[in-house]
Structure formats: structure tokens, C-alpha cells
Structure 1
Amino acid sequence: MTHTAGAQLWALGLSCVGWSLGAVALGLVQWRVWLVSDSEVIGSGRAWVGLWRACFDSHTHVTPGSGVMHCRYVGLAEAFTPPEMAAGQVLMLLSLLTGLAGNAGAVYSVKNLHFGMEKTSRTRAAFFATGGLCLSAAVMSLTPLLWNLSSVVSNQTIRFPPEFKMPPAPDSQQVGSAIWVGMVGAALMVVSGISFCAYRSPVDRRGGGARDNRTFESHEQL
């Protein structure tokens, strides 16, 4: 009976959107926005620091193939890489893999409902496992997102090497759009995960109602 899977179909859609937003956040460079007063090198007075790259607009230092942008790769094992960025590189990738597995499990579980397999206990177990994967993916992504958010709010700097052409410290920092995109994606994964875990088959509902009726009838006989 396909109508029994309405909530789970919505949850599947939310988990797919949440996973996609997490992938977008991972690729964006706007995790931290550095505002600097010296615009001789950084033409716009603004630099962007992501998990994988640090970039800014410049007419004097241009990376080949990047237009007027200068970008440098941020390595996981580099001595200057702060722990919140290193954790983000690892945890965001793990979150994407876990979320992908969760979405695959959701497709399998919803397919079982559409093909009339909702009476089997393995469908409920599959929904519960799917919910656990979605919630785990959300926790993995929220950890570096909140950690980097805290670093921006406290105006923590990064000692980039000279070849990055970045200032020793920004005048101020702003939270980049990538963090907000990632947090929305994580929130959607949490909602979908809870919905998957809360699934109960119609058989379970009817069984609970039948037990309640039998209990009520026994009290009437007494």
C-alpha cells in the first residue's frame, strides 16, 4: 500500500536535498570571509577561506585558469592547517559517504512499501538503519560546521605560508555562506533521520489497536 509511505517519501526527498546541500558546502570556498584593509594585493579587500582552498581577487597575483583569482590549496597534513579545517575535510567527506548510504537505504525501504512488502519486519529494520545513517551523517557534518562557526565568531586567525599572499590576520571575519548551506543540509538530514526511525508499519498499528480492544473487552467482562 503506497499511501502508508507518505511521510517516508517526504523524508527521502529531504534527505536527498540535505545530502546535496552538504556536498555543495564541502566544495564552496566561502567558509570564512576575511575582511582586510590592505587592498594592494587583495583587490576587493576580501578573501575567502574554505576547507580546501584560500582565494581572493587580485590583479597582481593570479592563479592560471582562475580569471582574476589567486587560490592556494589547503592540505590536510600542512602544519598551518587549523584542526577545525582538518576535521572538516575528513568529517564532511565521511558525512557524504554515510548520507549516500542512508539515501540508498531509504530508496530500498520505500521501494519495499510500494511493492507491498510493508508487512515484513525487515522493512521496518531497514527504515531504522536508514534513519541511523542519516542522523550519523548530520552529526558528522555539524561537528566541523559548528567548530568553524565558533572560530569565525572568536576571530581566530590562520598563519598561512608566504606563497598564499594572505595577511597575518584579518581586520575582521564573517561567517561564509558555505557554513549556512551546510547547516541547513544537516538540519534536513536530522528531520529525515527522525522520520525514518519513527516508521511503524500498518501491521504494528493494527496489532496495537487489537491488543487495546481485547484489554478493554476483558475489563468490561469483569
Structure 2
Amino acid sequence: MAFFVSPNCQAASFAFNILGWMFSMTCMGLAEWRVWYMESSSAPSRGLACIGMWKVCTYQSANLHSRKIECHRYSYSDTDLPLDIRIAQNLLLAASLLGLLGKALTVTGLLRVYAGQLQKNTTSNLFCASGVLSIIAGAFILTAVTWNYHSVMNEEGIRFPPSFHIPFRPDRQEMGSAVPMAVLAAFLMLLSGLLTISFQLPPNIRVYPEVSQV
């Protein structure tokens, strides 16, 4: 219990939050959420495609290190995108904003703890709100990952514009390297939120009572 009373608990939680937020921002921009293998397709569709939440990249050979790469970015006006990708876009954006807001609340609470100018209810509420935001952000990331996993396992297709030279459904598909990073980001955000909520003010620290203005 001593660790959860110590302000060091919040420092560790803040570090987890930063790492989780950085991983979530990184995986959001990657294209390797789904990997499509188009082995029986004719040129120029033959090869490999990496499908992300904001872009799709095609390779003319089944090699991620091939120099013949072409990427196409999505926009909100792309009505051909499946529902799971459009929802995942919003979930990941919301997770990044909630994580950022959670960090701001944690910093404010930590400044009060280390400065010794505490108002017990206000400081506790700051940490509690930060923890809740981090947990929600982690849940959003996990939802996007789960939906992406479901689409890959069901071998769902995507109707890309003809100019992309990508068939509706590949010969086979699998999870990409961005998924483990997203799972790690969600785990760190959830851990950060749980540690933040579990924080208690040390009993020997000086607390300044709130004074209501008349």
C-alpha cells in the first residue's frame, strides 16, 4: 500500500501514460494494421498491400523492403472505406486527445503534490479524472484492435478506388506489425489509469483546506 500512497506512484503512472500515448500516436500513423497478399492477381495488382487506419501502401513484390512502393492516404470524404476503419479512425483520434488531456491533469496534480500546496479534494479529483480518461483511451485503442482482428479473421474485403490497383479481397491476409504496438499502447494507458485512480494522499503531508469565499 505504501507505493500507492507515495507521489512516486503518480510519477510512474505519468511515465506509463506518456509511453502509451506515444505508442498510440505511432501505430495510428502506420499502414501495417492488415497485410494483404495478392499472389494470384495480375500486374499491377500482384504483390502485397499494407492497410492502415489512415493510408494504404502497395508493394509490387511480396517484400516489405521493395523499393516499388506507392501509398494512398484516406480522408473523411472516402465513402468506400468500411465502417470498422472509419470508426477506428475516430476511436484512435479520441484516445490520443483523451491521453493528452489526462497528462495535463496529472501534471497539474503532481505540481500540487511536490509543491506541498494541496487541497485534498481538488488534488484527488484531478488524479481520478486523469485515471478515468486514461482508462477510456486504453479501451478505445483495444476496441480498434479487436475490430481490426475481427475483420482479418473473417477475411473481409475493402472496395478501394480502381486507381489503387488493389482487389476487393486478397488471396490471404494477416495482422500487421502495428497491432502489437497498439496492444502495448492500450495496456500502458490502462495501467496508467489504474495507478492514477489508486493514488492516495500521504497521511503525513501538509494539506491546505479549501476556503470558500463569502
Which TM-score tier does this pair reach, normalised by the shorter chain? Answer: 0.7 to 0.9
Matches within 5 A, 1:96-135: 96-118=96-118, 120-135=120-135
Question: TM-score, normalising length from structure 1?
Answer: 0.81
Tell me how far 1:39 sits from its aligned partner. Answer: 6.6
Q: Which residue of 1 aligns with 2:209?
A: none
Tell me how far 1:75 sits from its aligned partner. Answer: 2.9
2:146 match: secondary structure: helix
Structure 2 spans left out of the alignment, 5+ residues: 62-66, 206-214
Tell me how far 1:8 sits from its aligned partner. Answer: 1.1
Q: Which residue of 1 aligns with 2:48?
A: 46
Distance 1:52 1:186 in 2: 19
Distance 1:117 1:42 in 2: 64
Tell me how far 1:125 sits from its aligned partner. Answer: 1.1
Q: Determine which structure has more spread, i.e. the larger CA radius of gyration.
A: 1
Question: Does the CA-based 8 Å contact 2:48-2:60 persist in structure 1?
Answer: no
Root-mean-square deviation (CA, aligned residues, Å) is: 2.1
Q: Which residue of 2 aligns with 1:28?
A: 30
Question: Does the CA-based 8 Å contact 2:20-2:188 persist in structure 1?
Answer: yes
Distance 2:204 2:31 in 1: 48
Question: Does the CA-based 8 Å contact 1:157-1:170 persist in structure 2?
Answer: yes
Distance 1:118 1:195 in 2: 19
Aligned residues: 195
Structure 1 stretch displaced more, 34-43 or 95-104: 34-43
Paired-residue identity, % = 30
Structure 1 stretch displaced more, 196-205 or 4-13: 196-205
Distance 1:201 1:42, change over 3 A: same
Matches within 5 A, 1:35-184: 35-37=37-39, 38=41, 40-41=43-44, 45-58=47-60, 68-118=68-118, 120-184=120-184
Q: Which residue of 2 aligns with 1:191?
A: 191
Structure 1 stretch displaced more, 73-82 or 106-115: 73-82
| Runs (4+) off by over 6 Å | none
Question: Does the CA-based 8 Å contact 1:75-1:81 persist in structure 2?
Answer: no
Higher helix share: 1
Tell me how far 1:118 sits from its aligned partner. Answer: 4.5
Question: Does the CA-based 8 Å contact 1:4-1:113 persist in structure 2?
Answer: no
Q: Which residue of 2 aligns with 1:220?
A: none
Structure 1 spans left out of the alignment, 5+ residues: 60-66, 206-222
Question: TM-score, normalising length from structure 2?
Answer: 0.84
